[in-house]
């Protein structure tokens, strides 16, 4: 929610830390490899995230 749009204060949420296998634990139907790709896309440290989209495409083709 954006402050000022509806007259209410913005909601401040603490970012959720995603671990390598978090997604697969939440939904066992999600392959572990896909869970790792999501982890790499949302990694807390920007330097450890995928730097170019082609890296993600290559990884997704392996799922």
User: At which residue do the structure tokens 């989209």 appear?
Assistant: 53
Cα distances (Å, whole numbers) of residue 62 to 18, 31, 34, 50: 21, 11, 9, 16
Segments making up each domain of the chain, as ranges: 22-61
Cα distances (Å, whole numbers) of residue 42 to 1, 6, 57: 21, 29, 16
pTM of the model: 0.60
Over residues 4-62, the pLDDT tens digits come to: 566 667 777 777 777 777 888 888 898 888 888 888 888 778 888 878 888 889 989 98
């Amino acid at each position: 929610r954006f402050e000022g749009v509806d007259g209410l204060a913005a909601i401040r949420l603490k970012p959720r830390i995603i671990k390598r296998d978090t997604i697969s634990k939440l939904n066992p139907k999600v392959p572990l490899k896909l869970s790792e790709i999501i982890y790499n896309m949302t990694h807390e440290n920007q330097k450890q995230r995928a730097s170019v989209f082609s890296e993600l495409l290559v990884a997704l083709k392996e799922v």
